[in-house]
Structure 1
Amino acid sequence: MTTLSPATSLRDTATLTGRVLRHWQRSPVTILIGLLFPVLMVLMFGYLFGGAMAVPDGDYMDFLIPGMLAMTMLFGLEAMVIAVTTDTAKGVTERIRAMPVTTTAILAGRSAADLLNAVVGLAVMVLTGLLVGWTAHRGLPLTLAALGLLVWLRFAFTWIGIYLGLLLKTPESAVSVQILVWPVGFLSSAFVSPGTMPGWLGTIAAWNPLSATATAIRQLFGNPDWNAHGWPTEHAVALALIWPALLTAIFLPLAARRYRALSR
C-alpha cells in the first residue's frame, strides 16, 4: 500500500464500494432475505404478540416500528462480519492489500457499501410500517432527523463488524457474533419497555445504545412510548448521538490497526 492523494483515495473508495455492490448483484437472494427478515419480525411481533402489549396513549405497532428500525441497523453487524471473514478466507483481502490503495479506501469502501444497504433496508422497513398502519406524526424535518440517527447508529455498527470480521478471520467463527447481536437487540427498548424488566436488567436495557436510538426516534416521530422516566429517556436524542460517536471512536481505529497487522 502506498500514500495516495485524497482524490485518488476517494476514487479507490468508490471502486471498492462498487466491488461490494457488484458482489451483491450476483447474490440477490441473500440480499433479499436480509431485507425481508425484519419485515417478518414486524409481522410476527406486531400481529402474533402485539395483542398482549398495551402501550399507554398509543398502539403497539406505532411503538414497535421505531424499535424494529433500530434493530434493522443492528442486523447489519452480523452480515458485515461474515462478508469480511469470507474475503479473508478466500484470499481476497490479501490481494487487495497488494494493490496500490490506502487502508482508508479499503475499509471505507466496505463501510460505504454497507451504509447504502442500510438505506435500502430503512426504505423497506418504512414502507412496511406505513402498510401496517404506522405513521410519523411530527413532520418531514424531524422524520429525516430520526432516519439520520438510524444511519449514524449503523455507521458505528459497521466498524464494529469490520473489526470483528478482521479479528475472527473465518466465516465459521463469525457465527459466534449471533451471541452478541441477539442479546444486545432484545435487551433493549426495541420491543418492550425496560421498566417491565427486573430492576438491574431494566437499567442495562435503558442504557443500551439500541434503546437510546429507538427511544430518540420514537420522540422524533411522535410515536408512543411507555412514558418511562430517567436520564436515558429524557436525554435519548443526545445519547443517540453520543453512543455511535463513542463506538466509532473505539472501533474504527481498532479496525484500521487490525487491518494493518494482518500480514504480521
Structure 2
Amino acid sequence: MTTLTTPAPASPRAHRSHALADSVTMLRRTLLHIVRYPGLSIFVIGGPVVLLLLFVFVFGGALGAGLPGTGTVGARAAYLAYVMPGILLMTIAGTAGGTATTVSMDMTQGITARLRTMAISRGAVLAGHVLGNTIQAFIAVAFVLGVGVLIGFRPTAGPLQWLALAGLLAVIAFAISWLAVGMGIQSKTVETASNLPLLLTFLPFLGSGFAPTDSMPVWLQWFAQNQPFTPFIETVRGLLLGTPLGVNPVLALGWSALIALGGAVWSVAIYERKSVR
C-alpha cells in the first residue's frame, strides 16, 4: 500500500533565499525598464542640470554676493559651491516621480495583478522598484555632480568623506524610493502618481539648499530648520566642502530611517489591501 506524505514546509532560510532571488529578478526588470524608456532618466537628470546652470549663471552673481567668503573666491563660484548640495538632493527627490509613475503603471495596467498570480514574493515586487530607483538616483547624482565639476565646482572632500557621502546619498535615495513606491500604489491614476512626488522637489527650496535659513522670515525659518532636507543638505555640504557638520549627520540618518520605515510600512499595507480585492 502506497503511503501519501505531506511535503515538509520550507525552512525560513529557503523562504529568504526565494525572496532574495525574486528581488534580484524584479530589480533586473526595473533596470531593463529604465534602459528601454530613457525619457524618465533624461528628465530626472536634465531638470537638476538646467536648474544648476540657471541659478549659477543667471542668479549666481547676485545671490552669491551675500555669502560668507565671497570676496576671496567670487560671487558666482561661492554660490556654485553653496547650491551644489541642494541640487544633488533635488536630483534624488526628482527620481521619486519616475518610480511612482512606473509603480502606478504596473498597478493600473494589470501587471501587478498578474504578478500576484505567480509564485513571486510580494515583498520582492516592491523591493525591485526600490532598489532600481536607488541605483538610478545614484547614477543621476554622479552625473549632476560631474556637470558641477565641469562648470567650476571644487569639493575639498578626502577619501573618507567621499565614502561617507556615497553611503549617505544611498541611504537617502533608498528612503525616498520607499516613499515613492507608496505614492505610486496609492495613486488611482498615472497622472496623479507623476505629480504627487513633485512636493518632494520643493523641500530643498524651503530648506538650506538655495539660501541660508537665517535669511528667511521667522515663520519659514522654523519649517526650514525642522524638515528633513535641511540636515540632508547640510551633511552633504559638510562632507563635500568641510563646513561644520554638528548634529546634522545624526538628524539626516534619523530622518532617512523614519522615511524608509514609514514608506515601507505604508507601501506594504496598501499593496496587501489592494491584493485582496
* The two structures share one fold, judged by TM-score above 0.5: yes
- Asked if residue 85 in structure 1 is aligned to residue 107 in structure 2, the reply is no
- Asked if residue 41 in structure 1 is aligned to residue 60 in structure 2, the reply is no
Asked if 2 retains the 8 angstrom alpha-carbon contact of 1:74 and 1:185, the reply is no
Q: Where does residue 5 of structure 2 map in the other structure?
A: none
Greater RCO (Cα-Cα under 8 Å, separation 6 or more): 1
Asked if 2 retains the 8 angstrom alpha-carbon contact of 1:63 and 1:223, the reply is no
Q: 2:200 aligns with which of 170, 181, 185?
A: 181
Query: How far has the Cα of 1:175 moved from its partner?
Result: 4.2
- Asked if residue 19 in structure 1 is aligned to residue 29 in structure 2, the reply is yes
Q: What are the within-5 Å matches in structure 2 for residues 93-112 of structure 1?
A: 93-112=112-131
Write the distance in 2 (CA, Å) between the matches of 1:161 and 1:247. Answer: 10
Q: What are the within-5 Å matches in structure 2 for residues 102-251 of structure 1?
A: 102-177=121-196, 180-222=199-241, 234-251=246-263
CA displacement 1:70-117 (0-9 Å, x = unmatched): 111111122221111111111111111111111221111111111110
Query: How far has the Cα of 1:34 moved from its partner?
Result: 2.0
SS at match of 1:99: coil
CA displacement 1:202-257 (0-9 Å, x = unmatched): 12111221111110111111256xx8xxxxx7311111111011111212111111
Q: Where does residue 56 of structure 1 map in the other structure?
A: 68
Q: Give the TM-score normalised by the residue count of structure 1.
A: 0.90
Asked if 1 retains the 8 angstrom alpha-carbon contact of 2:100 and 2:197, the reply is no
Count of residue pairs brought into register by the alignment? 256
Amino acid at match of 1:42: L
Q: Give the TM-score normalised by the residue count of structure 2.
A: 0.86
Write the distance in 2 (CA, Å) between the matches of 1:211 and 1:13. Answer: 32
Q: Where does residue 7 of structure 2 map in the other structure?
A: none
> Cα–Cα, structure 1 residues 45 and 83, in superposed 2: closer, same or farther, change >3 Å?
same
SS at match of 1:186: coil
Amino acid at match of 2:166: L
Structure 1 vs Structure 2: percent identity of aligned residues? 30
Q: Where does residue 230 of structure 1 map in the other structure?
A: none
CA displacement 1:35-68 (0-9 Å, x = unmatched): 2221111101111111111321251101111111
Asked if 1 retains the 8 angstrom alpha-carbon contact of 2:231 and 2:251, the reply is yes
Write the distance in 2 (CA, Å) between the matches of 1:176 and 1:24. Answer: 19
For structure 2, list consecutive stretches of 5 or more residues without a partner in the other structure. Answer: 1-9, 71-77
Asked if 2 retains the 8 angstrom alpha-carbon contact of 1:88 and 1:170, the reply is no
Task: Flag the structure with larger Rg.
Answer: 2
